[in-house]
Amino acid sequence: MEIALEDLKKALPEGGLFGGGNWQWSPQPLKLSAAEAREMTSLGHPLAKFQQASDMLYRRSAAGKIAPWLAELLDQGKPDWLAGLQREGGMAEQFPRVIRPDLILAKGHFAASELDSVPGGMGITAWLSKVYADAGFEVLGGPDGMVEGFRSLMPDGGDILVSEESRDYRPEMDWLASRLGDGWKTEAAESYVENGRDVYRFFENFDWKAIPGFRDLAGKSAKGEINVTPPFKPHLEEKLWLALLWSPSLKKLWEQTMRGSHLQRLRNLVPFGWVIDPEPLPPHAALPKLDVHSWKEVADFSQKERQLVLKISGFHESAWGSRGVFIGHDLSAQEWKERLDTALKQTGEQAWLMQEFHEGRRFEHPIYQEDGSVKMVDVRARLCPYFFTDRNGETSFGGCLATLVPADKKKIHGMSDGVLVPCIIGED
């Protein structure tokens, strides 16, 4: 079964979606094994519990009950008023209600490179799911899983606020709102006037100065006067939590806060990571798994030893997309040293982390060429499953966007030579 290139392009809404449809096309969705599909589609609940546990640890740290350094680390670089607001009592039970992990389809497993609670791609995934399902494919999540998942966030309707910083995503959110019906609409975040309606916040917390109504929305949300999702909790938008999951000093706290089975799934999913901290280690200590005594030694690693990824954590314009991600063995020795030195110098102002690099497995997938022919191309894949938590706290799978890029690319993101498709279950 295949979908024709002409049918794909004809189905694009007027004005296009993200990038106007400037990606590569495929006649088929990505095929996952039944086991892979089960593993992926069941991640929503443990990921939601991870975010809730993270928030609990942060709040306990901020209250001085455990590890004061944790809240201090997560609050660095943020305005005092916003750090204080996320600690207020009215914010305690507010959590992101859209969860999207970025999963590298590695050899025999998934590796989570990010956990995004303000994700783009929802409209594109909804559109792709419908178009391929209409062509006869049994798309994971179904033709309307993404639309109904988003509807569950604001079942009585609401306003989707898109900032100028996020303007590239406006067309797909406009399309998504049109599918939801008259009760939902997109608005420019910068000119929005709060009117009592539920709000979906499609802008990052770091952009607060550019949005005049930000503090008013945040304050009313904390008081329970309006419903806003994702909540104004910048600490939950830090990639740093993926490294903190592996912190030896937090090991027992994670075990006390999360169910054992959920914690194990997270540890199987998240590559080992480290918080970048220039503080000298005691003479007898070493960085876990790296088996060196200092970051200076890490800076001197050979290319073979640099199977590592350096990332800016959050609350910064370069912390979304792939702009603040640097793959060690893809850099020259000098570039690696300079990037790591920058991360160390920014300690106290901007958090950085490092993770083990997990290479995506190579496989062939059919891709339309410029002349309309189909060619089997050697690719790697990133999967972005979307999970939605309704008002009753139930988290469900909505759909999955697969991004396929040429196998020689280390980073997998929505580049112009990438292919965007939904997922189906193929043969094991």
Shared-domain flag, residues 21 and 139: yes
Q: pTM of the prediction?
A: 0.95
Q: How many CB atoms lie within 10 A of CB 225?
A: 13
* Inside any domain, residue 78: yes
Find tokens 């916040």 and name the residue. 201
Q: How high is the pLDDT of residue 399?
A: 98
Shared-domain flag, residues 230 and 143: yes
Q: How high is the pLDDT of residue 314?
A: 84
Average pLDDT, the chain: 93
- CATH number of the domain enclosing 310: 3.30.1490
Shared-domain flag, residues 367 and 349: no
Shared-domain flag, residues 115 and 159: yes
* Inside any domain, residue 174: yes
Please give the Cα distance from 83 to 354 (Å, whole number). Answer: 24
* Inside any domain, residue 382: yes
User: Of 332, 356, 380, at which residue does a domain stop?
Assistant: 356
* Inside any domain, residue 375: yes
Q: How many CB atoms lie within 10 A of CB 369?
A: 12
* Inside any domain, residue 179: yes
Shared-domain flag, residues 336 and 400: no
Q: How high is the pLDDT of residue 19?
A: 62
Shared-domain flag, residues 178 and 202: yes
Q: How high is the pLDDT of residue 271?
A: 97
* Inside any domain, residue 278: yes
Q: How many CB atoms lie within 10 A of CB 205?
A: 23
What is the span of the domain harbouring residue 337?
272-356
Q: How high is the pLDDT of residue 417?
A: 77
Q: How high is the pLDDT of residue 22?
A: 75
Shared-domain flag, residues 350 and 399: no
* Rg of the Cα atoms in the chain: 21
Q: Which two tokens stand for residue 326?
A: 């640097």
Q: How high is the pLDDT of residue 239?
A: 94
Beta bridge partners of 289: none
Shared-domain flag, residues 38 and 154: yes
Residue 3 vs residues 54, 118, 257: alpha-carbon distances, Å: 43, 31, 47
Amino acid letter for position 90? G
pLDDT in tens, the chain (428 residues): 899 999 999 999 887 787 666 789 999 999 999 999 999 999 999 999 999 999 999 999 999 999 999 999 999 989 999 999 999 999 999 999 999 999 999 988 999 999 988 898 999 999 999 999 999 999 999 999 999 999 999 999 999 999 998 898 999 999 999 999 999 999 999 999 999 999 999 999 998 999 999 999 999 999 999 999 999 999 999 999 999 999 999 999 999 999 999 999 999 999 999 999 999 999 999 999 999 999 999 999 999 999 999 999 987 665 555 678 999 999 999 999 999 999 999 988 899 999 999 999 999 999 999 899 999 999 999 999 999 999 999 999 999 999 999 888 766 665 667 899 999 999 65
Shared-domain flag, residues 65 and 107: yes
Residues 157, 102: contact at Cβ < 8 Å?
A: no
User: Of 305, 327, 356, at which residue does a domain stop?
Assistant: 356
Shared-domain flag, residues 319 and 372: no
* Inside any domain, residue 247: no
Q: How high is the pLDDT of residue 14?
A: 82
Shared-domain flag, residues 291 and 403: no
**Sign of the C-alpha dihedral, residues 22, 328, 236, 41?**
positive
User: Of 306, 331, 356, at which residue does a domain stop?
Assistant: 356
Q: How high is the pLDDT of residue 315?
A: 77
Q: How many CB atoms lie within 10 A of CB 361?
A: 15
**What total of structural domains would you count in the chain?**
2
User: pLDDT exceeding 90 applies to what percent of the chain?
Assistant: 86
Shared-domain flag, residues 282 and 216: no
Find tokens 């966030």 and name the residue. 153
Find tokens 């990052």 and name the residue. 204
* Inside any domain, residue 29: yes
